[in-house]
Amino acid sequence: MSASLPFLGYGLGLRSAYYQQILEQSPEVDWFEVVSENFMVQGGKALYYLDAIAERYPLVMHGVSLSIGGPHALDPDYLKQLKQLADRVKPAWISDHLCWSRGSAHQLHDLLPLPYTAESLEYIAGRVAQVQDVLQRPLVLENVSSYVRAASDDFTEWEFLAALSRVSGCELLLDVNNVYVSSRNHGFDTWTFIESLPKDKVRQLHLAGHSDYGDYVIDTHDHPVSDPVWALYQRTVEHFGPVATLLERDDHFPPFEELLDELQKARELGSHVLAGRQQCA
Pairing of the two strands 107-112 and 217-218: unpaired
In this prediction, residue 228 carries a pLDDT of: 97
Q: Say whether pLDDT at 154 is over 80.
A: yes
pLDDT category of residue 279 using cuts at 50, 70 and 90:
confident
Least confident of 146-150, 201-205, 236-240: 146-150
Residue 12 forms beta bridges with which residues? Answer: 32, 247
Residue 175 forms beta bridges with which residues? Answer: 206
Q: Say whether pLDDT at 252 is over 50.
A: yes
Q: Say whether pLDDT at 3 is over 70.
A: no
Q: Say whether pLDDT at 108 is over 70.
A: no
Please answer whether residues 34 and 89 qualify as being in contact, where contact means their C-beta atoms are separated by less than 8 angstroms: yes
φ, ψ dihedrals at 213, nearest 5°: -110, 20
Amino acid at 8: L
Q: Say whether pLDDT at 2 is over 50.
A: no
For helices 76-89 and 45-54, the axis angle rounded to 10 degrees is 40
Mean pLDDT calculated for residue range 246-252 = 95
Name the percent of the chain lying above pLDDT 90: 83
Give the distance, in angstroms, between the CA of residue 159 and the centroid of all CA atoms in the same chain.
Answer: 18
Report the distance separating Cα 75 and Cα 72, nearest Å: 8
pTM of the model: 0.94
Digit-coded pLDDT (tens) for 8-56: 899 999 999 999 999 999 999 999 999 999 999 888 999 999 999 999 9
Q: What is the dihedral of CA 163, 167, 173, 175, to 10 degrees?
A: -20
Pairing of the two strands 10-13 and 244-247: parallel
Please answer whether residues 48 and 16 qualify as being in contact, where contact means their C-beta atoms are separated by less than 8 angstroms: no
Identify the CA nearest to 61 among candidates 224, 173, 161. 173
Q: Which domains does the chain have, with CATH numbers?
A: 10-280 (3.20.20.150)
Please answer whether residues 99 and 144 qualify as being in contact, where contact means their C-beta atoms are separated by less than 8 angstroms: yes
Angle at 230 between CA 228 and CA 233, to 5 degrees: 110
Q: Say whether pLDDT at 102 is over 80.
A: no
Mean pLDDT calculated for residue range 116-144 = 97
Digit-coded pLDDT (tens) for 65-100: 999 999 889 999 999 999 999 999 999 999 999 998
In this prediction, residue 224 carries a pLDDT of: 96
pLDDT category of residue 143 using cuts at 50, 70 and 90:
very high
Q: Say whether pLDDT at 116 is over 60.
A: yes
